[in-house]
């Protein structure tokens, strides 16, 4: 049983590494980011309860959809949430804020873990870079790749001792049938 699980884990790692080098598909979906987050919270809630992690979620009203590869967005947000949960093994607060800022949707995920020292902050999106024992350094690298391949940006902010915030910025979907005013 342990060997089978280890082989499955290795297969997932290989698949994630392959995702980093593949060209993104052009079959994007219109996705409600709020629905993605709600599905993910159902998945991570038991782990958060076990670790004494409080979850706070705030959504702006009337969030437009995003045009993305749905599976990549799901995995990108899951990677960030799981990193946050792992950083708060002894409890804390996971905060997810999703808002519209001009023509973008920003999904801000913050934790109250130990944070990242300034000298490491610029490296957290590098493939195979990790400070976690047993970590493989692919989660945030894949998040960065997935968000960038979907036309977005990823930024990190941290004050050591005060947690880490990852900002995923994606362009809001614009209805192609909407008339554009040229006044």
| pLDDT band at 182; cut points 50, 70, 90 | very low
CATH code of the domain in which 148 resides = 3.30.565.10
Residue 47 in any domain: the answer is yes
Better-scored residue on pLDDT, 138 or 31? 31
Strand partners, 140: none
Chain mean pLDDT for the chain: 84
Asked if residue 15 belongs to a domain, the reply is: no
Q: Which H helix or E strand runs over 164?
A: strand 164-171
Whether 183 has a pLDDT exceeding 50, the answer reads: no
Average pLDDT over residues 101-119: 93
Instruction: State the DSSP code for 180.
Output: P
Q: Answer whether residue 10 is part of any domain.
A: no
- 135 occurs within a structural domain: yes
Pairing outcome for strands 164-171 and 104-110: antiparallel
Residue 167: domain span: 25-171
pLDDT digits (tens, 9 = 90+) for 42-76: 999 999 999 999 999 999 988 999 999 999 999 99
Residue 2 covered by a domain: no
CA distance 109 to 30: 22
Supply the pLDDT for residue 126.
86
Alpha-carbon radius of gyration of the chain: 17
Q: Give the pairing type, strands 66-68 and 29-31.
A: antiparallel
In which band, very low, low, confident or very high, does the pLDDT at 123 lie, cut at 50, 70 and 90?
A: confident
Total domains present in the chain: 1
């Amino acid at each position: 049983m342990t060997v089978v699980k280890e082989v499955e884990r290795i297969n997932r790692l290989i698949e994630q590494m392959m995702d980093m080098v593949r060209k993104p598909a052009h079959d994007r979906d219109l996705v409600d980011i709020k629905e993605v987050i709600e599905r993910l919270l159902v998945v991570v809630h038991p782990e958060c309860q076990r670790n004494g992690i409080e979850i706070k979620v705030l959504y702006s009203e009337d969030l437009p959809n995003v045009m993305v590869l749905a599976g990549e967005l799901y995995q990108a947000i899951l990677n960030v949430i799981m990193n946050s949960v792992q950083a708060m093994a002894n409890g804390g607060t996971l905060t997810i804020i999703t808002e519209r800022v001009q023509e973008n949707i920003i999904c801000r995920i913050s934790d109250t873990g130990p944070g990242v020292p300034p000298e490491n902050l610029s490296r957290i999106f590098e493939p195979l870079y990790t400070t976690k024992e047993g970590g493989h350094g692919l989660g945030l690298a894949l998040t960065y790749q997935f968000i960038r391949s979907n036309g977005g940006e990823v930024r990190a902010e941290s004050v050591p001792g005060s947690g880490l915030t990852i900002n995923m910025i994606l362009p809001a979907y614009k209805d192609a049938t909407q008339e554009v005013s040229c006044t």
